[in-house]
Amino acid sequence: MTDPTRSERRARRRPAAEEQSPRPDRALAYRQLVNPFTPLRVFSDDHVEEMHQAALGVIEELGMSVLLPEARARFRAAGASVDDESGLVRIDRGLVMEAVAKAPPIIDLVARAPERSVKLGGQHVAIVPVGGPPHITDTDRGKRPGTLADFKDLTRLCQAFDVIHLIGAMVEPQDIAPQFRHLELMQAVLTLSDKLPFVYSRGQAQVADCFAMIRLAHGIDEQAFGQRVFCYTVVNTNSPLQLDRPMAQGIIDFAMAGQLVVVTPFTLAGAMAPITIPGALTQAHAEALVGIMLAQITRAGAPVAYGSFTSNVDMRSGSPAFGTPEYVKAAFGAGQLARRIGLPWRSSGATSSNTPDAQAAYESEMSLWGALMGGCNMLIHGAGWLEGGLTASLEKFILDIEMLQMFAELFQPVPFSRDEMALSDMAEVGPGGHYFAAGHTMQRYHSAFYTPLVSDWRNFGQWSDDGARTATERANLIWKKTLAEFVPPAINPAVADALAEFVARRSAEGGAPPTS
Amino acid sequence: MTDPTRSERRARRRPAAEEQSPRPDRALAYRQLVNPFTPLRVFSDDHVEEMHQAALGVIEELGMSVLLPEARARFRAAGASVDDESGLVRIDRGLVMEAVAKAPPIIDLVARAPERSVKLGGQHVAIVPVGGPPHITDTDRGKRPGTLADFKDLTRLCQAFDVIHLIGAMVEPQDIAPQFRHLELMQAVLTLSDKLPFVYSRGQAQVADCFAMIRLAHGIDEQAFGQRVFCYTVVNTNSPLQLDRPMAQGIIDFAMAGQLVVVTPFTLAGAMAPITIPGALTQAHAEALVGIMLAQITRAGAPVAYGSFTSNVDMRSGSPAFGTPEYVKAAFGAGQLARRIGLPWRSSGATSSNTPDAQAAYESEMSLWGALMGGCNMLIHGAGWLEGGLTASLEKFILDIEMLQMFAELFQPVPFSRDEMALSDMAEVGPGGHYFAAGHTMQRYHSAFYTPLVSDWRNFGQWSDDGARTATERANLIWKKTLAEFVPPAINPAVADALAEFVARRSAEGGAPPTS
């Protein structure tokens, strides 16, 4: 039990090697993540089947309230029992599963830069930054309403780290009038990043504008656009058992255009879902199945992901809690349900902490392990989420990148061979020696291990002499440095001009107000 | 993607329930942890077998340097080839595995209070605080050499939280002369705690004193003491491939007394072990097997645990790194090797951070997931470890307790039944409603979810108005409150007197200097 001390002294004998060169091989390894681990499970296969069948029973008997008449018409045409007065749609389980079976198990997501394209499904993992917060914070300026400038900075940070695969809705730019926001956001994403963009489902006119801009960025026409997946949206059911107008419209618009819809019931157990994990998951499963069915009856084979976001509330205050033990169990269970229906599974990284501190780190780690070791394919809110999702934090973004890169490294296979067992080195070094100059060490020391972004591994004296900065303080320096050094990805000037002209024209025309 | 905001508003509609009562049922559930998850693996069974056989080959061909003549004599008597000049012991693989097979797969650890007794092995998990640091720190007083008063405070903290199962060597009491330390430590542990104590292997005389004091505490004689396990020690091999005198003596003394020895090679890949994970694990496996064999040839069936502590160094500075991706992979692999030989597996919680910040939290989480989801049975350094093990931190101790309690909750099975699916509640609440007053909610809301120790789930306004404390600042208040409210466990006054008399007598006799 004393050995860390002893071994530390020993380890420090090694003379510092020269500053090592950056490792493009590691950076590239983060662009296409494959999770080699068998997903962790919390339910038996029988229990998964029971929840699946119970969810189908809920759809058949209780039904789901669908507020958009067009969506109800589509369900009626597909054979569902529809009550236009109450809005309730009840669907035979056979029809539900027939539709869901048409969804593709693996989806190719096409980014503006080919090397940024990723796969969704199977063992592939795509990571997405925080989405939706109205506020932004950093330790210099504090919490404030989000602006377009903040959104652009977050887009630059997303672009700068390979472990972020898709762009999200990192912060709401409250300085831009709602009818112009989608235009400004899309122009920012398409010029500051070459990764696949997110599109808000806030009405058909906004969605049409965004699709048009993405076609301009890719230099493709509507037909080519409909044949591959160039963007995605997230549609939340209005739990319990309700699908509101803009969300249903989003599913229809995206399915018709062949673009990805992530159908995510956001269910807090004890609030908008039953307080038990099996109950919350069963309800969420029913809601997701109905949303996915709407996509498939709109266009068979439309790309969809099975989203889950189940956590608990603090039963004393009603506050949502994230990264809790219950959150982890719900994530493992949701992954099992997603695999039951064979679809790509979306989960989330989250915390309730109000500041990028130790709580933010341990709750985020819990949610990451729950999601990623539960086998998730699309991790949303992976970087920058703070305060239950109400605020994007620049320091938290950097801390999350570190945590995500550690997972990306964990996913890399361990090379194994007779040579990797290093028996020749053991013979060479012998009892009581050290490996600093051994053959395997000399061959590998530049690249054997992950080099951290934020973590400070220096000893207490060196760390103290250099300002005794916490990880959060170092993260502050890192986001500033990353922004200062940012170089936007290459873009054809004609494309940039076309995007600018589009935004100018549509803005002059009054933009497109969001619908709800 | 907007739903956290919307749902948060909705969740907050719930009127705050009355302050809920403490939950003894949850606290009790932490006293006996059973890990229900299938351990994560990083190697195929074939590769595990290759490493195991390669380790046996290292023992046969390279041998291990054993510095204690008595240990060499025992190996020689057991059939090993021993060179007394070099100290090298080479052992046929058949003899190694024959001896290792005698070690029990599951061990009963007998604490002073029967309800604190735990099992080691199988799916059982026992958690141990930090061990060995010379320094202590807290955010009020800063870093300083450890004292007996600090050790006593850490013992009180260990006693106060059910998720800590065994006592450790939480800090070195540098204000006590080395020949008296073991007496003072043992008296503190046996009076301030009713959990199973750790004993340092620092020479036969110290060990004999500690065993005598434990017998006094249990009111048993030497014969009864030898029949069950009342304490444990940790023996680190002196990697690579060396077993020094006090460590070998510790194995022999503990095995003879039938007390638990945790044999742990502490191997930093690239320093005292090969830089590759298969190489580092193969060497560590060889060292552990030799240590375990020494216990078994001393007393067949002696209780031992297979310890592993493999991490990497920063190849630029030589600094040890903990909670890294490589650390997690090595933990998963070590667990596989432990299961290959069928013994209880000891792993660790660790971080390189110099302060109890976000890095300390995310590195500790990585090491906890690596250890616990790798299937470890004994987690050492589970609470309070900071600065690569050189310092015990009171705030980190509390943050770790929170993380450990979340694992303890994660280990609790999810109740599953038709009723748990809450279909009746779904019918009652209906589309668009809420579950705050639903039947399942009312029955369960007092105890459905884990209530955190440190995490603050209040909204930003409430949290700000209450001082905007970070998790580390809250942890500072929690350890102080825990110490202020501490009530020592019951002890027979005659036993306490006997312990005090023993310490007084042995101190008057000059104590027992540590040997090395």
| SS3 readout for A155-223 | HHHHHHCCCCCECCCCCCCCCCCHHHHHHHHHHHHHHHCCCECECCCCCHHHHHHHHHHHHHHHCCCHH
Q: What is the CA radius of gyration of chain B?
A: 24
Show pLDDT as tens, one digit a residue, over chain A (516 residues).
444 444 444 444 443 333 344 444 788 899 999 999 999 999 999 999 999 999 999 999 999 999 999 999 999 999 999 999 999 999 999 999 999 999 999 999 999 999 999 999 999 999 999 999 999 999 999 999 999 999 999 999 999 999 999 999 999 999 999 999 999 999 999 999 999 999 999 999 999 999 999 999 999 999 999 999 999 999 999 999 999 999 999 999 999 999 999 999 999 999 999 999 999 999 999 999 999 999 999 999 999 999 999 999 887 788 899 999 999 999 999 999 999 999 999 999 999 999 999 999 999 999 999 999 999 999 999 999 999 999 999 999 999 999 999 999 999 999 999 999 999 999 999 999 999 999 999 999 888 899 999 999 999 999 999 999 999 999 999 999 999 999 999 999 999 999 999 999 999 999 999 986
Contact criterion met (CB < 8 Å) for A422 and B276: yes
Partner-chain contact A423 B242, CB within 8 Å: no
Give the contacts of B85 (CB within 8 A, at least 6 positions apart): none
Roughly how many angstroms between the first and final C-alpha of chain A, as a whole number?
A: 62
In angstroms, the separation between the Cα of residue B99 and the nearest Cα of chain A is 22
The number of beta carbons lying within 10 Å of the beta carbon of residue B114 is 8
The DSSP secondary structure of B180-203, one letter per residue, reads HHHHHHHHHHHHH--SBPB---S-
Contact A284, A310 (CB under 8 A): yes
> Strands B304-307 and B345-348, how do they pair?
parallel
Nearest CB to B441 within list A57, A58, A270 = A270
Mutate to test the interface with A, among B315, B417, B474 (most CBs of A within 10 A): B315
Question: What's the rounded Cα separation, in Å, for the pair B195 and B217?
Answer: 11
* Cα A137 from Cα B352, distance rounded (Å): 28
CB B266 within 8 A of CB B239: yes
Q: Which residues of A touch B433 (CB under 8 A)?
A: 240
Q: State the pLDDT at residue A7.
A: 42
- Interface-testing mutation among A315, A403, A404, A516, with chain B (most B C-beta atoms within 10 A): A315
Distance from CA of B7 to the nearest CA of A (A): 8
Token pair, residue A476, equals 């502050």
Pairing between β-strand A391-393 and β-strand A144-145 as defined by DSSP bridges: unpaired
Residue A211 has what pLDDT?
Answer: 98
Nearest to A422 by CA among B312, B275, B314: B275
Greatest alpha-carbon pair distance for chain B in Å reads 83
Residue contacts between A and B (CB atoms, under 8 Å): 531
Work out the average pLDDT over B267-282: 95
Contact: A358, B361; criterion CB under 8 Å = yes
Q: Which residue of A has its CA nearest to B311?
A: A449
Which residues have a Cβ under 8 Å from the Cβ of A225 and sit 6 or more positions away? Answer: A211, A214, A215, A218, A257, A258
When CB atoms are compared, the residue of A1, A270, A457 closest to B321 is A457
Average pLDDT over residues B458-464: 96
B357 vs A353: CB contact, 8 Å cut-off? no
* β B64-66/B88-90 pair status: antiparallel
If you count them, how many residues does chain B have?
516
- Residue A357 has its nearest CB partner, among B8, B412, B472, at B472
Which residue of chain B is at minimal alpha-carbon distance from A131? Answer: B1
DSSP strand pairing (A391-393 vs B33-34): unpaired
pLDDT in tens, B171-182: 999 999 999 999
Beta bridge partners of B348: B380
Q: Which of A315, A369, A470 sits opposite B355 (nearest CB)?
A: A470
Q: What was the pLDDT predicted at A27?
A: 80
How far is the alpha carbon of B61 from chain A, nearest alpha carbon, in Å? 9
Q: Across chain B, what does the average pLDDT equal?
A: 94
Contact A318 B12 (CB under 8 A): yes
Q: In chain B, what residues touch A388 (CB-CB under 8 Å)?
A: 4, 8, 459
The token pair at A396 is 């938290």
- Position B46 pLDDT exceeds 90: yes
Tally of CA atoms within 13 A in the half-sphere of A98 that contains its CB:
9
Q: Is the model's pLDDT at B18 over the cut of 60?
A: no
Specify the residue for token string 């060179």. Answer: B83
Neighbours of A160 (CB within 10 A): 16
Residue A153: strand, helix, or coil: helix
- The one-letter amino acid code at A157 reads L
Residue B125, phi then psi, degrees to nearest 5: -130, 130
Q: What gap in Å lies between CA B36 and CA B477, rounded to an integer?
A: 34
Buried b (16+ CB within 10 A) or exposed e, B331-359: bbbbbbbbbebebbbbbbbbbbbbbbbbb
B88, β-bridge pairs: B65, B83
B359 to chain A: which residues are within 8 Å by CB? 361, 454-456, 470-471
> Is B358's CB within 8 Å of A354's CB?
no
CB contact under 8 A, A456 and B359: yes
| pLDDT for position B2 | 41
Contact A470 B357 (CB under 8 A): yes
Cβ within 8 Å, pair A274-B422: yes
Q: State the pLDDT confidence band at B413, using cuts at 50, 70 and 90.
A: very high
Chain B CB contacts of A460 under 8 Å are 143, 354, 387, 390-391
Residues B372-396: pLDDT tens digits? Answer: 999 999 999 999 999 999 999 999 9
ipTM of the complex: 0.95
User: Which residues touch B148 (CB under 8 Å, ≥6 apart)?
Assistant: B173, B175, B176, B184, B185, B188
Nearest alpha-carbon partner for B251 in B15, B71, B21, B491: B71
Q: How is B327-389 classified by DSSP, letter by letter?
A: HHHHHHHHHHHHHHHT--EEEE-----SSSSHHHHHHHHHHHHHHHTTT-SEEET-SSEEGGG
Is residue A451 exposed (0-12), middle (13-18) or buried (19+ Cβ within 10 Å)? middle
Question: By three-state DSSP, how is residue A9 classified?
Answer: helix
Inter-chain residue contact A422 with B282, CB threshold 8 Å: yes
A122: closest CA of chain B, how far (Å): 19
Q: What is the mean pLDDT of residues B142-157?
A: 98
Q: Which residues of A touch B414 (CB under 8 A)?
A: 42-43, 277-278, 329, 333
- What gap in Å lies between CA A278 and CA A283, rounded to an integer? 9
Instruction: Choose between B3 and A145: higher pLDDT.
Output: A145
Q: Is B226 helix (H, G, I), strand (E, B) or coil?
A: helix
CB A125 within 8 A of CB A411: yes
Contacts of A240 in chain B (CB under 8 A): 426, 429-435
A422 DSSP assignment:
T
Distance from CA of A433 to the nearest CA of B (A): 6
Tokens of A55: 């969810």
Take residue B200 and report the two structure tokens written for it. 């340092």
Distance, in angstroms, between B341 CA and closest chain A CA? 19
Supply B335's token pair. 């667990």
Alpha carbon of residue B234 to chain centroid:
11
Smallest CA–CA separation between A123 and chain B, in Å? 16
d(CA B25, CA B447): 9
Quote the minimal CA–CA distance from B494 to chain A in Å: 32
Q: Which of A82, A242, A276 to mutate to test the interface with B (most CBs of B within 10 A)?
A: A276
Instruction: Give the separation between CA A152 and CA A171, rounded to whole angstroms.
Output: 9
CA terminus-to-terminus distance, chain B: 62
Q: Are A320 and B7 in contact (CB under 8 A)?
A: yes
Which two three-digit tokens encode residue B429? 């609440």
Mutate to test the interface with B, among A7, A86, A139, A236 (most CBs of B within 10 A): A7
Across the interface, whether the CB atoms of B318 and A436 are under 8 A apart is answered yes
Cα gap A329→A310, rounded to integer Å: 9
Say whether A460 and B415 touch across the interface (CB within 8 A): no
**Binary contact (B63, A1; C-beta < 8 A):** no
Tell me which chain B residues have a C-beta less than 8 angstroms from the C-beta of A198: 1
H or E element that contains A47? helix A45-61
Query: Where does the pLDDT of residue B26 fall: very low under 50, low under 70, confident under 90, or very high at 90 and above?
Result: confident
CB contact under 8 A, A282 and B8: no
Cis peptide bond N-terminal to A431, omega within 30: no
Return the pLDDT at A13: 40
Residues ≥6 apart with Cβ < 8 Å to A285: A51, A52, A55, A337
H or E stretch at B268:
strand B266-269
| CA-based nearest distance A493→chain B, Å | 32
**Contact yes or no for B279 and A13 at CB 8 A:** no
